[in-house]
Amino acid sequence: MSYTNPYRKRILVTGGAGFIGSHLCERLLQEGNEVICVDNFYTGSKRNIAHLLTNPYFEVIRHDVTFPLYVEVDEIYNLACPASPVHYQFDPVQTTKTSVHGAINMLGLAKRLKVKILQASTSEVYGDPSVHPQVEEYWGNVNPIGIRACYDEGKRCAETLFFDYHRQHKLQIKVARIFNTYGPNMHPNDGRVVSNFIVQALKGEDITVYGDGSQTRSFCYVSDLVSGLIKLMNTDPSITGPINLGNPGEFTILELAEKVIKLTGSKSKIIFKPLPQDDPKQRRPDISKAKEILHWQPAIPLEEGLKYTIDYFKKLFGEQ
């Protein structure tokens, strides 16, 4: 039974002003739900949700999930956590707290309300993988004391907590492992490869490729990813995940740089710098489970998604 009316679910999205969270809030509203967006605006942005503020079924709460939250809702999507190395390495202790204390607080809320909760986990739980492509059964190859561990191990611990709450308290959980996602609302200075390359290309700066550019990534457009999250949330209670969500199309970083230069018409040159510590050499999801269980697979090809993303950044820079 909904707290508002029997026909409109009330859904909490933590990290709702972030890149993925803002798209999720918008989609959930479009589907006729009431949405409470919770964000401390550390990496989230008000401009990502400004167009939603006039919707009477949208509410924003400035709150840090490392502290308990008391609201009445029907479902919880837990997306709160800085997700790019630039941001999560800036305050690594707070990053770990956000993943771990945030999970505990949101799981506690879900337990009290007896509602289902989805954890936005990450392909980073696989670390620098020795299995390729990555299947959900793979336990990963993570450096627990490296500079990325605050995020990698924080997310791994959050998964542990979700499954322990499920076993111990019979809580209905869903765990999605999100692979590289891109699209409008990305932070221009988040250090992620797609936004980095587009921003550098539009400004006519050298495009920075770390290593020799032969390392591979898979890039999922944000609307496809959001569809996968909603499909997972709406599965049978017996489906907990973890389920990989990402695009299995694999590209080298050098290929991505060349595509961005071509699509922007930029005169930027590609320069090479040393590979950062613990940077994965390969990253590609096996999405067999998502296809079979969720009947989901990405629909937007990389070139099309890059065009939408480039248009977003052009508009963003035009407003500045």
User: What digits encode the pLDDT tens for the residues 11-45?
Assistant: 999 999 999 999 999 999 999 999 999 999 998 99
Checking if the pLDDT of 310 tops 60, the result is yes
Bigger pLDDT: 63 vs 4: 63
Could you tell me if 243 and 294 are in contact, meaning their C-beta atoms sit under 8 angstroms apart?
yes
Catalytic residues: 151
User: Which three-class secondary structure state does DSSP give residue 134?
Assistant: strand
pLDDT tens, residue by residue, 163-207: 999 999 999 999 999 999 999 999 888 878 999 999 999 999 999
What would the DSSP string read from start to end of 79-129? --S--SHHHHTTSHHHHHHHHHHHHHHHHHHHHHHT-EEEEEEEGGGGBS-
pLDDT at 319: 63
In a domain, 14, yes or no: yes
In a domain, 21, yes or no: yes
pLDDT at 89: 79
In a domain, 54, yes or no: yes
pLDDT at 191: 79
Could you tell me if 147 and 163 are in contact, meaning their C-beta atoms sit under 8 angstroms apart?
no
The residue-averaged pLDDT of 277-290 equals 86
In a domain, 112, yes or no: yes
Q: What are the tokens at 250?
A: 């694999």
Could you tell me if 172 and 239 are in contact, meaning their C-beta atoms sit under 8 angstroms apart?
no
In a domain, 227, yes or no: yes
CATH code, domain with 154: 3.40.50.720
User: Which three-class secondary structure state does DSSP give residue 274?
Assistant: coil
pLDDT at 320: 54
Checking if the pLDDT of 1 tops 50, the result is no
Domain that holds residue 48: 10-179+221-246+284-299
Confidence of residue 277 (pLDDT cuts 50, 70, 90): confident
In a domain, 16, yes or no: yes
pLDDT at 5: 54
Please state the domain count of the chain: 1
Could you tell me if 119 and 176 are in contact, meaning their C-beta atoms sit under 8 angstroms apart?
yes
d(CA 158, CA 14): 14
Q: Of 312, 288, 308, 292, nearest to 300 (Cα)?
A: 308
User: Which three-class secondary structure state does DSSP give residue 118?
Assistant: strand
In a domain, 47, yes or no: yes
In a domain, 258, yes or no: no
Enter the DSSP assignment of 250. Answer: E
pTM of the model: 0.93
pLDDT at 2: 46
Element (H, E) at 137: none
